[in-house]
Structure 1
Amino acid sequence: MMISQSLQFQLAFQPSSSRFGMKITYKNHGIRPSASINVNQFSDQVGVNHRRSADYHPTIWDPKLIQSLTTSYTYEVHGNRLDKLKEQVSTLLKSTKDVSILLKLIDSIQRSGVAYHFNQEIDAAFDLVTSFVANGSCLSTTALRFRLLRQRGHFVSTDVFDEFKDENGHFLERLSDDLEGLLNLYESSFLGMCGEDDDIKEARDFSVKHLKSFMLTRLDYDNMNMRNIVEDALSVPLHWRTPRLGARNFIDQFKVCGRINSWVLLELATLDYNLVQSIHQEEVKELTKWWKNLGFREKLSFSRDRMMENYLWAMGIMWEPQYSKGRKTLTKFICILTAIDDIFDIYGSLDELESFMIAVERWDLKAMDDLPQYMKICYLAMYNFGNETAYDVLRDHDIVVIEYVKKEWERLCRSYLTEAKWFYDGYEPSPEEYLKNAWISVGGHGAIVHTCLLLGLSPINETFFNNSISDSGPLYWSCLITRLSNDMGTSKAEMARGDVSKSIHSYMIHKRVSEKNARDIIKCMMNHSWKKLNETIIKRSCSAIVSTLSLNMTRTALSIYQHGDGIGTSTGSTKDRLTLLIVEPISIY
């Protein structure tokens, strides 16, 4: 059965014959049903004789290895050289007046990960870029300007591409040999918004067609470096890449082919990458000690032991050196969240989970009295972390946020409990029901809100939090893409062990489609959500920092689940990426 893209969209966004789910036939009497799972049988203090296990593998990161991480790159030794290189690049930015050259320079600065050093200079440069009239420019300059301005939150009409089209609205075939123009056109097509479908589709289809033709026809050695660049772009577009991994990739690529604008910039990017990596190394050393002292590894052995992988989430959301405190706190939040998720998703009985929810709502140490022993350590860790976070925000920013912290944990645990009740009742939620709950249960909302609290964003009030849970802001669309990415990467393993149905299974049941077609529907939803996310950023529907955090979380989710469950099974690409980001510096020469 084949499904067209338009039908995928219809199935994804129109209500089913009923917006409600359906009950399936089994009755589990308090014990979660499972298919091919490993069940540990024992008697514990609460009399539950069957506990599920997801068979998560132990951590692949030896704490001794992490503590032994070292680098020769330190700010004490290389700080002066860094400052001199920054000064030279700043001068280059200020002195460049040719808009086409300036655009390439800004692009290289951003892609190489050093733009945070030059915010004022880039803002000033964009004044020149914004006033520049693109008519009569080459395709490459027009497309690059379109992408950079939209990334910056400036609206640029897709009409700027009309001069490169024929009377039928198709791109001119003479552009098929303009490789640089095709690459920039391709990358710009991922900055589209709703209502621009025809223009964006035409740009993407045309560029992809001729880029793939280049890959098939130009096999000579002289084009090998460019072939690698094209192949890399077609695998993951620039707009979807995490900034830190993107910087590593950009530096490695352009050291080989020499297409970066300035060797001074290349040296700066390489040195800065290695110096920031030294900060990240110190952070994971500190977090490793915290994680060991927390005791979850011994007390909650059924849960995922993934401190390093959770740090990858935090680094993906905000990697810059000035956000060290926020990055460490965010990692702790995700570690505790992961344990609670595993309790609700795999291990706890329904009575236990309801007791935990009551304790979270009470936010009181006495509430632990009604919890089984294994839950107490998790509850206390959450309680202490929440209060410490509120204390830090009050100390650093004079803002009282404890009620907001409490609300986030309530909202998250309530979404977990909803899924657990569906599971115990044998209830199959409709796709609409599932997604209404699941964009919260993925945890991204709590992560970004905690980050905003730590940064002391103003104003932090009821309006801020009401806006954060609306279905029209960047955080909603980011969480939705994060959830759908998670489902795409983890659904096979979760369905095999009998977890609650996720979006793919829900569409298979309620829309009566195959797994392949259900996945196609999810991809269509993700593409639509990307356009909505772009729109909220371009129209500046919230602060720039919230937009950036939301965008980076989305990118990180795509990266982590690109090849499956990059957290549950972290021995493949997740390990490789952590090695590049944390362990291995870039050679200066």
Structure 2
Amino acid sequence: MSFKQEVIRPVRNLLPSVWGDLFLNNDKKADLGEIEQIAEDLKEQVRKDIIVALGNQKEHTNLLKLIDTIQRLGISYYFEEEIANALQRVYEAYGDDWNGDNISIWFRLLRQHGFHVSCDIFNKYKDKHGAFKESLTNDVEEMLELYEATSLRIQGEVVLDEALDFTRTHLNDIAKDPLHNNSIMSTHIQEALETPLHKRIPRLEALSYIRFYEKQASHDETLLKLAKLGFNLLQSIHKSELSQVSKWWKDIDAPKNLPYVRDRIVESYFWACGVYSEPKYSLARVFFAKVTQTTTLIDDTYDAYGTYEELELFTEAVERWSLTCLDMLPEYMKLVYKTLLDLYQEMEPIMEKEEITPLFNRSKEFMIEFIKGYMIEAKWVKEGHIPTTDEHASIAFVTGGGGVMISSCYLGMGEIITNEAIKWAVTEPPLFKACSAIGRLLNDIASYKKEREREHFPSIVECYKKQYDVTEEYAIDMVHKQIEDVWKDINRESLICKEVPRRLITVVINYVRTLYYLYKYNDNFSEVGEDMKDHIKALFVHAMSV
């Protein structure tokens, strides 16, 4: 395919995929029948342990620690009903007045599962002067748990804001103390300070925690073995799905036909696994990975190749959503447009069968709004307009993609998508908007320096600097504060959305967790770092030794 050399395009330096065809031919699932049977026997033992701990009120503290361990080892999907029932019983028994040990674990677990327990219980940690007791610093594990609990706070919870400052300061000191240096606990603290548990991708947390848990003298051998077997069983499924989406992308042959596009199908599938890794969401994972790579394709067309006039034609074609529009597009855009339409056409009969066509149609509308937002950005770039922060938010939080991406996550999830959930999702609820906001803010911080090297839509950092006449450092601090505020909004919304199955709320939180991982420090999606490579290999290449 030939491209016009005389047209000036905002092309960026593009790093090719680091994976080649590594994942292309992995579609045959291994025969794991014997391993599955061993896992079934182990699951039965864990179920008995949950029931025994639930039946004895004196054991409820241990019950919460067991549930926490199960979650962190990445095997909670084996025990969804048991965990939901156990936490419901604990909430009914104690309400806001938990009287056992491990207050922080109680608070964190219940909030994670949608119970709006009060943060006032943490006043127990304060002295008569209203300051946190210095004696807390003598128990490192308890202080670490308190720190982890603060990530579940919402706006106005001053005691948790104060607890965060207190624990972060002391944990930093402990991590730097030569007495603790290079210890397992020191490493554990540093990882927590880097990314709190509530903001971690569950699948990566399982990878890390299995290694940590194995080194604990008190570890439960049944749980550990089940975690390792479960990890490998899931990996077998994921490898097969990754091969499937890799073949789909290979057929499009972007490196040859669309050389300006980031080839990130493996990273797109990683993103899907960040959102949901359970076996029953295979169809949803595959579709979402394709949507993620397709939106990347469209993003690059608007951001790094298309001329203004070409983008106007493409936007019009998307609004009309018909193959009859192909003839109006430049040659290279025809493949982009057809990839988009074919993707939704592939899913349409499946969505009809699952009886969620209204959500499917709304997802298409979100995609159209998303692309129209890109066109507005292109218009402002053409005009040289640097928007105010409010103007930036009005459009950037559309192109942040919360609506299209979260609705796409839900497609293919099966019977968990209830009629009430559909009615909620099609309204673009606050959780979707928060996803757009946090995604855009994280992306802007990660990539604004690179984007300054060429003509590009201004980042929120640029907008803050111009509007408030502040330094770059101060502007970045403002954006980081805004990101923390959005996390609080997400926590609040996750507690008040009672009409929606809890798993759908967790999908949103996991989506944001994955964003946080990909864009916290740099654009780890466009420029895949060593940590990302190692994690992808650990998740999709190397089985865990049992």
Aligning the two structures, in what range does the TM-score lie when normalised by the shorter sequence?
over 0.9
Q: CA deviation at 1:220?
A: 5.6
Q: Distance in 1 between matches of 2:358 and 2:381?
A: 37
User: What per-residue deviation string (whole Å, max 9, x for no partner) do you get for residues 342-390 of structure 1?
Assistant: 1111111111111111111111111111100000011011111112222
Q: Which runs of 5+ in 2 are unaligned?
A: none
In structure 2, the residue matched to 1:211 is 171
Q: Distance in 2 between matches of 1:323 and 1:367?
A: 34
- Contact 1:474–1:533 at 8 Å: present in 2 too? yes
Which stretch of structure 1 is more off in the superposition, 517-526 or 566-575?
A: 566-575
Q: Distance in 2 between matches of 1:72 and 1:454?
A: 21
- Contact 1:99–1:132 at 8 Å: present in 2 too? no
State the identity %.
32
- Contact 1:193–1:535 at 8 Å: present in 2 too? yes
- Contact 1:242–1:552 at 8 Å: present in 2 too? yes
User: 1:544-583, aligned counterparts within 5 Å?
Assistant: 544-583=502-541
Q: CA deviation at 1:419?
A: 0.7
Q: CA deviation at 1:254?
A: 1.2
In structure 1, the residue matched to 2:365 is 407
User: 1:103-182, aligned counterparts within 5 Å?
Assistant: 103-130=64-91, 131-132=93-94, 137=99, 141-182=102-143
In structure 1, the residue matched to 2:388 is 430
Q: Which of 231, 236, 246 is equivalent to 1:278?
A: 236
Q: Distance in 2 between matches of 1:73 and 1:387?
A: 31
Q: Which of 294, 318, 326 is equivalent to 1:336?
A: 294
Q: Which of 270, 277, 290 is equivalent to 1:312?
A: 270
Q: Which of 184, 188, 202 is equivalent to 1:229?
A: 188
User: 1:1-400, aligned counterparts within 5 Å?
Assistant: 43=4, 49-63=7-21, 65-67=22-24, 74-96=31-53, 97=56, 98-130=59-91, 131-132=93-94, 137=99, 141-196=102-157, 198-217=158-177, 219=179, 224-260=183-219, 262-397=220-355, 399=357
In structure 2, the residue matched to 1:482 is 439
Secondary structure of the corresponding residue to residue 50 of structure 1: coil
Q: Give me the TM-score of the superposition, normalised by structure 2.
A: 0.93
- Contact 1:474–1:550 at 8 Å: present in 2 too? yes
Secondary structure of the corresponding residue to residue 354 of structure 2: helix
Q: Distance in 2 between matches of 1:103 and 1:462?
A: 33
Secondary structure of the corresponding residue to residue 50 of structure 2: helix
Q: Distance in 1 between matches of 2:89 and 2:374?
A: 50
Q: CA deviation at 1:463?
A: 4.3
User: 1:419-568, aligned counterparts within 5 Å?
Assistant: 419-456=377-414, 457-459=417-419, 463-468=423-428, 470=429, 473-540=430-497, 543=500, 544-568=502-526
Q: Distance in 1 between matches of 2:11 and 2:217?
A: 51
Q: Distance in 2 between matches of 1:461 and 1:151?
A: 19
- Contact 1:393–1:400 at 8 Å: present in 2 too? no
User: What per-residue deviation string (whole Å, max 9, x for no partner) do you get for residues 58-111 of structure 1?
Assistant: 111021x22466999753231100100110111111111311111100100111
Q: Distance in 2 between matches of 1:548 and 1:251?
A: 22
- Contact 2:448–2:459 at 8 Å: present in 1 too? yes
| Aligned positions, number | 537
Q: 1:249 to 1:348 in 2, by over 3 A?
A: same
Secondary structure of the corresponding residue to residue 194 of structure 1: coil
Q: 1:444 to 1:520 in 2, by over 3 A?
A: same
Runs of 4+ residues over 4 Å off in structure 1: 68-74, 133-138, 460-463
Structure 1 vs Structure 2 CA RMSD: 2.2
In structure 2, the residue matched to 1:6 is none
Q: CA deviation at 1:137?
A: 4.8
Q: 1:462 to 1:216 in 2, by over 3 A?
A: closer
Q: Distance in 1 between matches of 2:194 and 2:487?
A: 17
- Contact 1:566–1:573 at 8 Å: present in 2 too? no
Aligned residue type for 1:57: L
- Contact 2:95–2:117 at 8 Å: present in 1 too? no
Q: CA deviation at 1:587?
A: 1.8
Q: Distance in 2 between matches of 1:371 and 1:220?
A: 63
- Contact 2:272–2:288 at 8 Å: present in 1 too? yes
Q: CA deviation at 1:133?
A: 7.0
Q: CA deviation at 1:395?
A: 2.3
User: What per-residue deviation string (whole Å, max 9, x for no partner) do you get for residues 173-225 of structure 1?
Assistant: 112101121011000011101111x211221122222222322336268x811
- Contact 1:73–1:275 at 8 Å: present in 2 too? no
- Contact 1:146–1:156 at 8 Å: present in 2 too? yes
Q: CA deviation at 1:259?
A: 4.5
In structure 2, the residue matched to 1:37 is none
- Contact 1:482–1:553 at 8 Å: present in 2 too? no
User: What per-residue deviation string (whole Å, max 9, x for no partner) do you get for residues 297-346 of structure 1?
Assistant: 21110110111011111111111111111101111111111111111111
Q: CA deviation at 1:421?
A: 0.6
- Contact 1:365–1:380 at 8 Å: present in 2 too? yes
Which stretch of structure 1 is more off in the superposition, 79-88 or 536-545?
A: 536-545
Secondary structure of the corresponding residue to residue 23 of structure 2: helix
Q: Distance in 2 between matches of 1:275 and 1:461?
A: 30
Q: 1:545 to 1:133 in 2, by over 3 A?
A: closer
Q: Distance in 2 between matches of 1:203 and 1:293?
A: 53
Aligned residue type for 1:496: E
Secondary structure of the corresponding residue to residue 153 of structure 1: coil
Aligned residue type for 2:458: S
Q: Larger relative contact order (C-alpha < 8 A, sep ≥ 6)?
A: 1
Q: Which runs of 5+ in 1 are unaligned?
A: 1-40
Q: Give me the TM-score of the superposition, normalised by structure 1.
A: 0.87
Q: CA deviation at 1:153?
A: 0.6
- Contact 1:350–1:420 at 8 Å: present in 2 too? yes
In structure 2, the residue matched to 1:31 is none
Q: Distance in 2 between matches of 1:83 and 1:386?
A: 37
User: What per-residue deviation string (whole Å, max 9, x for no partner) do you get for residues 6-60 of structure 1?
Assistant: xxxxxxxxxxxxxxxxxxxxxxxxxxxxxxxxxxx9636xxx6212211111111
Secondary structure of the corresponding residue to residue 337 of structure 2: helix
Q: Distance in 2 between matches of 1:381 and 1:206?
A: 52
- Contact 1:60–1:571 at 8 Å: present in 2 too? no
Q: Distance in 2 between matches of 1:320 and 1:78?
A: 17
Aligned residue type for 1:228: T
